[in-house]
């Protein structure tokens, strides 16, 4: 298979249509088989549930070329499960795991020429999504749905080195108690555009959101979960029902508990605490990282709050050693350089 003529390492994180996408329809209580199509446009009723009442949810994962030249994906069963949880909360039909994984295999294989080669730092971003395409006018779930999965090559997230980020403690809330913060719904992103604009306009990379009920506990940013490292080398990650359960964060926690000190036998692996994190504790942490599929883990150097600036001990110059090690091991697992835990890697071709 001949690769597309692309300068892989200069790609950014932007949409580029590729040759094939997978499309399936749900009607009269059942999914059709679904198939690959070449058309990058969706056609639907002007009164579609997604257009009128934002009935849509999505996933994001990547395909990698390993050092042996295989094309693989990382824990896609967890994306299938999370899309089902999102569908339930939005009264949409679940996409069966079997269909999700079949779509994934087919769409990545059909677009193999677009999968960036090993060593370029680029990857193939995969976007599965589900939306109400049947007409509604009264507020109600749509009568018909479309499940779609497209792929687009994306460049290395950190070009020209990894620099720590500066965050703004947001005066806006991301997710209400008992709301939709725990699912990957498009509506959560629509409402975060304005706070995101405010933060970027003031020179910040992202917002740090607090829990909406008490505004005392750290939740996450608009699209990534937090991991903190304490001064005595423990990992702390916020626990809350209104955080989106990041697959990257869950995987990094596993790496910390099982891989981090493998090479030094007398040292135990890292301890991880998942618990509420009061924002007044931030000043006591050594390192702070943001976890998500796009960047794996990005270092945070500072957070500006109404009570002043909080600087993590790892500083604004480089990533702290624990975040760097976590990143090295997880990307090593994804690229086939380090043996993966059972079931984490799905080989496509």
Ligand X SMILES: *Cc1c(COP(=O)(O)O)cnc(C)c1O
Active site positions, annotated: 184
| Rg of the chain over all Cα atoms, to the nearest angstrom | 21
Q: How many whole angstroms separate alpha carbon 39 and alpha carbon 56?
A: 20
User: Per CB under 6 A, does 211 bind ligand X?
Assistant: no
Nearer to ligand X, 31 or 189 (CB): 189
Q: How many whole angstroms separate alpha carbon 235 and alpha carbon 239?
A: 13
Beta-bridge partner residues of 230 = 285
Instruction: Yes or no: say if 44 and 27 are a contact pair by the CB < 8 Å rule.
Output: no
Figure out which of the listed residues 87, 124, 218, 224 binds ligand X, where binding follows CB under 6 A.
Answer: 224
Q: Which two tokens stand for residue 337?
A: 């350089």
User: Per CB under 6 A, does 246 bind ligand X?
Assistant: yes
User: Per CB under 6 A, does 247 bind ligand X?
Assistant: yes
In the window 32-61, what residues touch ligand X (CB under 6 A)?
60
Candidates 30-38, 240-248, 256-264, 310-318: pick the segment binding ligand X (CB under 6 A).
Answer: 240-248
Interhelix angle 247-258/76-89, rounded to 10 degrees, is: 140
Figure out which of the listed residues 116, 292, 299, 301 binds ligand X, where binding follows CB under 6 A.
Answer: 292
The distance of closest approach from Cβ of residue 244 to ligand X in the complex, given in angstroms and rounded to an integer, is 4
Measured CA distances, 91 to 45, 73, 131, 144, 251 (Å) = 19, 28, 11, 12, 29
The distance of closest approach from Cβ of residue 174 to ligand X in the complex, given in angstroms and rounded to an integer, is 7
Instruction: Yes or no: say if 242 and 212 are a contact pair by the CB < 8 Å rule.
Output: yes
In the window 168-187, what residues touch ligand X (CB under 6 A)?
184
Which SS3 state, helix, strand or coil, does residue 280 take?
Answer: helix
Number of neighbours of residue 216 by Cβ within 10 angstroms: 12
User: Per CB under 6 A, does 323 bind ligand X?
Assistant: no
Burial of 190 per CB tally in 10 Å (0-12, 13-18, 19+): exposed
In the window 51-110, what residues touch ligand X (CB under 6 A)?
60
User: Per CB under 6 A, does 248 bind ligand X?
Assistant: yes
Candidates 36-44, 125-133, 247-255, 315-323: pick the segment binding ligand X (CB under 6 A).
Answer: 247-255
Figure out which of the listed residues 223, 238, 299, 320 binds ligand X, where binding follows CB under 6 A.
Answer: 223
Instruction: Yes or no: say if 237 and 270 are a contact pair by the CB < 8 Å rule.
Output: no
Nearer to ligand X, 121 or 186 (CB): 186
Token match 């795991």: residue?
A: 97
Which SS3 state, helix, strand or coil, does residue 283 take?
Answer: helix
The distance of closest approach from Cβ of residue 81 to ligand X in the complex, given in angstroms and rounded to an integer, is 11
Candidates 20-28, 289-297, 304-312, 328-336: pick the segment binding ligand X (CB under 6 A).
Answer: 289-297
Figure out which of the listed residues 220, 228, 277, 301 binds ligand X, where binding follows CB under 6 A.
Answer: 220
Nearer to ligand X, 225 or 237 (CB): 225
Total number of residues that touch ligand X (CB under 6 A):
14
Q: How many whole angstroms separate alpha carbon 292 and alpha carbon 295?
A: 6
Nearer to ligand X, 94 or 225 (CB): 225
Interface contacts to ligand X, rule CB under 6 A: 60, 184, 220, 223-225, 244, 246-249, 291-293
């Amino acid at each position: 298979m001949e690769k597309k003529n692309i300068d892989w390492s200069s790609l950014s994180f932007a949409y580029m249509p590729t040759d094939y996408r997978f499309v399936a329809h749900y009607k009269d209580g059942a999914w059709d088989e679904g198939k690959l199509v070449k058309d990058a446009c969706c056609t639907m009723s002007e009164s579609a549930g997604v257009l009128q009442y934002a009935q849509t949810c999505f996933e994001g994962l990547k395909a990698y070329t390993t050092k042996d030249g295989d094309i693989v994906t990382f824990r896609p069963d967890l994306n299938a499960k999370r899309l089902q949880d999102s569908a339930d909360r939005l009264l949409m039909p679940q996409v069966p795991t079997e269909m999700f994984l079949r779509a994934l295999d087919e769409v990545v294989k059909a677009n193999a020429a677009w999968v960036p080669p090993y060593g370029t730092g680029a990857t193939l971003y995969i976007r599965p999504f589900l939306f109400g395409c049947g007409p509604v006018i009264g507020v109600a779930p749509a009568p018909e749905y479309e499940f779609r999965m497209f792929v687009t090559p994306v460049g290395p997230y950190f070009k020209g080195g990894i620099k720590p980020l500066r965050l703004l403690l947001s005066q806006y809330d991301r997710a209400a108690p008992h709301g939709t913060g725990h699912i990957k719904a498009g509506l959560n992103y629509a409402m975060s555009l304005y706070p995101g604009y405010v933060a970027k306009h003031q020179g910040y990379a992202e917002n740090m959101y607090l829990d909406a009920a008490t505004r005392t506990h750290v939740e996450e940013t608009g699209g990534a979960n937090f991991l903190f490292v304490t001064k005595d080398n423990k990992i702390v990650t916020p626990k809350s029902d209104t955080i989106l359960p990041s697959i990257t964060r869950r995987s990094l926690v596993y790496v910390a508990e099982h891989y981090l000190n493998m090479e030094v036998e007398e040292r135990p692996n890292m301890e991880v605490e998942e618990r509420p994190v009061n924002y007044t504790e931030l000043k006591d942490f050594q390192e702070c990282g943001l976890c998500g599929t796009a960047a794996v883990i990005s270092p945070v150097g500072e957070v500006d709050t109404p009570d002043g600036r909080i600087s993590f001990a790892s500083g604004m110059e480089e990533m702290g050693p624990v975040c760097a090690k976590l990143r090295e091991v997880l990307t090593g697992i994804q690229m086939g350089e380090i043996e993966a835990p059972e079931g984490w890697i799905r080989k496509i071709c």
